[in-house]
């Protein structure tokens, strides 16, 4: 989500009208920030799109870990009981800054072995949950195989994301679970682009979008 810019000309209106005719559903896709995108929050970011429809889009940044905040720390802050914890499960994992909106609100992306009270299936293999019961499962035998915890989210109003795509702010590619959950955080921007056959570091700032 870029900072809003005024729609000042017929050219932008024309571009948006073209996008409407070829609108893609980018749910379960990655948005990969182009090198030219210098917004401090989104520079070199990879966003996992959880929802995309005619009214807008919502997603989570998956490569911006928060400083000094781990999954174990979140569980302690919420006073979630440790009774059923499996000591073999590593909870010393970072919590991610999911976006600039509602930064005190938690979102958990996880694999789809099970769902919880407030779960929405994003794809066959990926679920987003916002209810406490998923946190209670983390670190126990009931935990899904893969979990990513984020605070805050990104959102785009109607046609805003489409406008940014036309302005070459983002590359887009179908998401894959390996990059989402397992690729080292510092490598996710590069590896998401590499999954498209692109060396992001060598791209010119005015390169076309995919």
- pLDDT on residue 20: 46
Is there a contact between 160 and 166 (Cβ–Cβ < 8 Å)?
A: no
Task: Give the tens place of pLDDT for each residue, 85-112.
Answer: 999 999 999 999 999 999 999 999 999 9
Domain stops at, among 152, 170, 189: 152
Burial, 20: exposed, middle or buried (Cβ in 10 Å; 0-12, 13-18, 19+)?
A: exposed
Give the Cα-Cα-Cα angle 1, 163, 108 (nearest 5 degrees).
30
Per DSSP bridges, beta strands 147-156 and 101-111 are antiparallel
Confidence of residue 1 (pLDDT cuts 50, 70, 90): low
- In this structure, is residue 72 part of a structural domain? yes
Please tell me the total count of domains within the chain. Answer: 2
Last residue of a domain, one of 122, 137, 152: 152
Q: What is the pLDDT of residue 23?
A: 64
Mean pLDDT of the chain: 89
- At residue 65, does pLDDT exceed 90? yes
* pLDDT higher than 90, residue 82: no
Quote the pTM value.
Answer: 0.86
> Does residue 52 lie in a domain region?
yes
| Residue 91 domain boundaries | 66-152
Same domain for 143 and 84 = yes
**100 in a domain, yes or no?**
yes
Say yes or no to pLDDT of 204 above 70: no
For residue 22, how far is the Cα from the chain centroid?
23
Quick: pLDDT tens for 107-130. 999 999 999 999 999 999 999 999
Are residues 174 and 189 both part of a single domain? yes
Give the CATH number, domain containing residue 161.
3.40.1740.10
* Residue 208 in domain: no
Q: What is the mean pLDDT of residues 193-204?
A: 89
Enumerate the β-bridge partners of residue 46: 32
Are residues 55 and 159 located together in one domain of the fold?
A: yes
State how far the Cα of 19 lies from the Cα of 144, in Å rounded to an integer.
Answer: 37
């Amino acid at each position: 989500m870029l900072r809003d810019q005024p729609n000042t000309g017929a050219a932008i209106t024309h571009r948006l009208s073209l996008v409407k005719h070829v609108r893609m559903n980018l749910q379960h896709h990655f948005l990969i920030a182009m090198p030219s995108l210098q917004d401090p929050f989104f520079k070199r970011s990879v966003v996992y799109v959880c929802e995309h429809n005619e009214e807008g889009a919502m997603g989570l940044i998956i490569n911006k870990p928060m400083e000094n905040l781990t999954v174990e720390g979140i569980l302690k802050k919420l006073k979630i009981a440790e009774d059923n914890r499996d000591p073999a499960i590593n909870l010393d994992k970072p919590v991610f800054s999911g976006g600039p909106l509602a930064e005190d609100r938690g979102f958990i992306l996880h694999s789809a072995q099970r769902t919880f009270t407030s779960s929405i299936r994003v794809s066959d293999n990926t679920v987003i949950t916002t209810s406490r019961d998923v946190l209670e499962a983390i670190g126990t035998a009931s935990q899904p195989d893969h979990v990513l915890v984020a605070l805050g989210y990104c959102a785009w109003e109607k046609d805003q994301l489409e406008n940014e795509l036309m302005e070459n702010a983002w590359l887009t590619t179908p998401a894959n679970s390996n990059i989402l959950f397992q690729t080292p955080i510092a490598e996710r921007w590069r590896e998401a682009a590499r999954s498209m056959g692109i060396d992001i570091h060598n791209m010119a700032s005015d390169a076309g979008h995919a």
